[in-house]
Chains A and B, each alone.
Chain A
Amino acid sequence: MAGPDAREVVLAARNVAKSYGAVHALKGVNFDIHRGQVTTLFGENGAGKSTLMKILSGVIQPSSGEIILDGQPVTFQNSTHARDLGISIIHQELSLAPNLSVRDNIFMGREIMGPTGVNYAEEEAQVRRLMAGLEEDIDPLTPVEDLRLGQQQIVEIARALSVDSRILIMDEPTSALSASEVEVLFKVINDLTAKGVSIVYISHHLEEALQITDHAVVLRDGTMTAWAPRDQIDLNWIVRNMVGENYDLGAPPSGYEFGKVALSVQNLVLPDPGGNPYNVVDNLSLDVRAGEVVCIYGLMGAGRTELMETLAGRLRAASGRIELEGAGISHLSIAQRIARGLALVPEDRQRDGLVQTMSVGQNLSLASIRAFTRGIFTSRRAEQKLIRDTIRDVTVKTPGGNAPIGSLSGGNQQKVVIGKIMATKPKVILLDEPSRGIDIGAKAEVFRLLAEGAKQGLAVVYTTSEVSECLSIAHRIIVMHKGRISAEFDASASKEMIMAASGEAHAA
């Protein structure tokens, strides 16, 4: 394969630029999508990947430039128009109606009509087929709000698949999926490309994306910096073109002694919030010392999120004891736990992490607002300083604290959530999938930040579905399976050992 064959190109962007006021998200990009192949798009947070995909799927209009479909210039009126032309997109941020069922979400706006109104039976049957194809056990009639984040992502994927489009754009479809689900998705993608469907795939999980890519494109600051077919690229090539330097997820911080036990969990039991007769956290005990970094690995549904939310105070345990620095905290509210130094970075940033109506700065300072209240009024100066410092510390790419939170790229929104919690100066920090949607540079940055905190005595507990992230800064790796701790390793464990303990070996 010497280069892109013009005849194979089904959809292309020519000199596409997009500006939001003074922000130039895209500065004249050329991008080709080839028939029956997977084009992966790499780039840092805020590089313009989502913006380009939204333009190619008619969600937004370019400021200038052309879109060419099958050799002819087109202008998409809106995303429905693009969908009618055979282009569909899985959005980075979920766009499901939480109150509607899985079935209704999948067929929203394209209901199958029968002689007496909507043909629900047919819709349901199709959803069951889709779910079977994705090897998922999700009932078509469950309201989406009752699903876990990863399952919602599956629904989003199923909706895009149900359209039978020729061109399928996937903007970080796997950020909440576990390894075995990703594998299933890749099987589906291979089937699709065999049928001639063209795929665009965006992910910050580079190794994973390399498995399916046919062509790779790298975007940087709104311009395309590199293009190459599969046989010319490797991890190094991507990283070099993406950030221009090498990265390292770090090693467990060392050279100091752990302190006293900071967080102690004893025999914690949490029944299924959905009312099923099993425990999502089942008699779990865990001690984390000051300065220690613990990674919790597990498959989707292992109970990690529920454990985290119970520790933070969102869910109430049925029995068991939670202690912070030796004092029981089970009866305390979330606010009191934050005040004592225990805070959670939640998994779903849209639903639990951010207030969309507020600015970047107001989001950053929300959890620590008590700290800069003097008397009854907040101190503007103290708040501005905190916002500036946090933006710098967690490297949020934003024009300033006053920018609306919705104008940030997905990864930068994630950094705001992490920054907000770091700003409360916690003693124990819980992070549920902190690397969700952030680029390798930022990931390394976040881990460095956590490792540094640990050296100062911060106890860190984070979950992840990527084994390589467990083997970075964690002193101890805990594998959760069906609400229990199924194994415990130290930093010298191998990927295979960890995955086997999670039950992944059977799933895959």
Chain B
Amino acid sequence: MSDQSHTRPAPASAPKGEGFSLLRLLLEGRAFFALIAIVLVFSLLSPNYFTLPNFLIMASQVAIYGLLAIGMLLVILNGGIDLSVGSILALCGVVAGAMMQGVEVKAMGVILYPPVWAVVVLTCALGGLVGAVNGVLVAWFRVPAFVATLGVMYVARGVALLMTNGLTYNNLSGKAELGNTGFNWLGFNRLWGIPISVIVLFTCAMIAWAMLSRSAFGRWLYASGGNERAAELSGVPVRRVKITVYTLSGVLSAIAGLVLSSQLTSAGPTAGTTYELTAIAAVVIGGAALTGGRGTVLGTMLGAFVIGFLSAGLVIVGVSSYWQTVFTGAVIVLAVLMNSIQYGKGARKA
């Protein structure tokens, strides 16, 4: 009488369980399935869509967003946000453009023409520096990431405008006799038939993937984004991690700036306006949580391609740009909705 328990077999939930796991697969691979759906739909709607040249063109456009999105992913994994990437992109493009025009050294009365590799290195360093400013503001001065990067967004854009007086550098090709040709290589050349920009994106994505999944730094990043206090008590250098992710985001913005101005063969101070939002959208569509600690490079890449292929497809089938905006917005909302379905379970509180 003291033991009234009946051991009953587990409820017959097996078939239900299977259906559930199929749903899970669809949910977890949603960015991938969305990409396939987009390609299928537009291939049916337009004969020009499903062709290799078109894919390569679309991919080289995606490269810009993709590079920004990798940096944004790192910041978002850390529980932050970086609104300044579009402005850093423009500032770095403009600075690279200025260097291609020659740097006048007043004291010596000469004009220096740095070779392209030096321009690339200096530009990346500048991007990293601006990113580090974000990082220091957030990590040391405890300015909320949203506010800190919003401020840097305005400052960087303003400096770019001041430097050029609002104008655009149109000649970036350099001169053979000055030894600074080759800037257009980034945007126009191909290696084994693949645009350089796509190769750059792929390389950066691979490095980021290796860093996140295999290095101690990657684990630190996930940990400090998931629970900063616990990470700190486990010996994670949370401030250093923070500064590093903002710096890397700045460097990636600089690379994107170089690729973009090379593709456009011009560098203007208004380039990349609102690109930060596209990058955030790519990260979110890729399944990362804006609260930090969750997200992958693969997902983010898929997210970038979803946005890029969708908007390119809409252009090809001739949908008006107003509708494009509506569609893009709808996709983002849908993605966030699915994120909250995936992560929201169990968050229900009494």
- Nearest residue (CB) in B for A333 is B237
By a CB distance below 8 angstroms, the chain B residues around A78 are 348
Query: With a CB–CB cut-off of 8 A, which chain B residues contact A424?
Result: 235
Give chain B's interface secondary structure class.
Answer: loop
Asked if A64 and B4 sit within 8 Å, CB to CB, the answer is: no
State how many angstroms separate the Cβ of A260 from the closest Cβ of chain B: 24
Evaluate contact between B3 and A226: CB separation under 8 angstroms: yes
Say how far A407's CB is from chain B's closest CB, in angstroms: 9
Output the least CB separation between B23 and chain A (Å): 14
B2 x A366 contact (CB < 8 A): no
CA distance in complex: A223, B9 (Å): 12
Residues of chain A with a CB closer than 8 A to B10's CB: 17, 19, 24, 27, 63
How many angstroms from the CA of A343 to the CA of B232 in the assembled complex?
Answer: 12
Q: CB-nearest residue of chain B relative to A225?
A: B3
Contact with A along B1-44 (1 / 0, CB 8 A): 11111111011010001000000000000000000000000000
Assess whether B234 is in contact with A420, with CB atoms less than 8 Å apart: yes
Contacts of B17 in A (CB 8 A): 21
Stretch at the interface among A174-182, A344-352, A450-458, A481-489: A344-352
- In the complex, the chain B residue whose C-beta lies closest to that of A335 is B235
With CB as the reference atom, state the residue of chain B lying closest to A62: B11
* Residue in A226, A352, A369 whose CB lies within 8 Å of B219: A369
Top 3 nearest A-B pairs by Cβ distance? A357-B293, A357-B226, A28-B8
Q: Of B107-115, B156-164, B209-217, which binds chain A?
A: B209-217
* Neighbouring A residues of B220 by C-beta, 8 Å: 369
Chain B minimum-CB-distance residue to A19:
B10
Interface residues of B in 242-263 (CB under 8 A from A): none
B233 cross-chain contacts in A, Cβ below 8 A? 312, 314, 334, 344, 346, 352-353
Q: Are B4 and A226 in contact (CB under 8 A)?
A: no
Assembled-state Cα–Cα distance A333/B235 (Å): 8
The majority secondary structure among interface residues of chain A is mixed
Does A378 sit at the interface, judged by CB under 8 A? Answer: yes
Contact B7 A334 (CB under 8 A): no
> Is residue A91 within 8 Å, beta carbon to beta carbon, of the partner chain?
yes
Nearest A residue (CB) for B214: A377
Q: How many residues of B contact A (CB 8 A)?
A: 40
A377 CA to B349 CA in the complex, in Å? 39
Can you give 8 A-B contacts (C-beta < 8 A)?
A3-B1, A63-B10, A64-B11, A95-B349, A227-B2, A377-B210, A377-B215, A378-B216
User: Considering the chains assembled together, what is the distance between the CA atoms of A455 and B9 in angstroms?
Assistant: 47
User: Is A95 within 8 A of B350, CB to CB?
Assistant: yes
Distance (Å) between the CB of A144 and the closest chain B CB? 14
A-contact bits for B207-231, CB 8 A (1 contact / 0 none): 0001000111001101101110111
Can you name 6 extra interface pairs (CB under 8 A) apart from A357-B226, A357-B227, A420-B234?
A95-B349, A314-B232, A335-B236, A355-B293, A365-B219, A366-B223
A28, A91, A351: the one contacting B350 at CB < 8 Å is A91
A interface list, Cβ under 8 A from B: 3, 15, 17, 19, 21, 24, 27-30, 57, 59, 63-64, 78-79, 89, 91, 95, 223-228, 312, 314, 333-335, 337-339, 343-344, 346, 351-358, 362, 365-367, 369-370, 373, 376-378, 406, 420, 424
Chain B residues with a Cβ under 8 A of chain A: 1-8, 10-11, 13, 17, 210, 214-216, 219-220, 222-223, 225-227, 229-237, 289, 292-294, 346, 348-350
Beyond A19-B11, A355-B226, whether A228 also contacts B350 by CB under 8 A is: no
Q: A362 contacts B222, CB within 8 Å?
A: yes
* A352 to B226 alpha-carbon distance, docked (Å): 11
A53 to B269, CA, bound (A): 61
Our pick among B2, B7, B210, B227 for the contact of A28 (Cβ within 8 Å) is: B7
The contact of A366 among B219, B225, B237, B350, by CB within 8 Å, is B219
Smallest CB gap from A82: residue in B = B350
Which residues from B are CB-within-8-Å of A351?
227, 229-230
Residue among A91, A344, A366 having the largest count of chain B Cβ atoms under 10 Å: A366
Q: Is the pair B6, A28 in contact by a Cβ cutoff of 8 Å?
A: yes
Q: Is the CB of A356 within 8 A of B214?
A: no
Min C-beta distance of B105 to chain A, whole Å: 39
Are the CB atoms of B11 and A352 closer together than 8 Å?
no
Chain B minimum-CB-distance residue to A348: B229
Chain A min CB distance to B197 (Å): 26
**Complexed CA–CA distance, A378 and B215 (Å):** 5
Nearest A residue to B8 via CB reads: A28
Question: Which residue of A has the minimal Cβ distance to B346?
Answer: A406
**Across-interface contacts of B234 in A (CB, < 8 A):** 338, 366-367, 420
* Known pairs A19-B11, A366-B236, A369-B220; A353 contacts B5 (CB<8 A): no
CB distance from B314 to the nearest CB of A (A): 35
A3 and B214 alpha carbons, distance in the complex (Å):
60
A223 to B4: give the CA distance in the assembly, Å: 10
**B215 CB contacts on chain A under 8 angstroms:** 373, 376-378
Known contacts A30-B5, A373-B216, A377-B214, A357 near B350 by CB under 8 Å? no
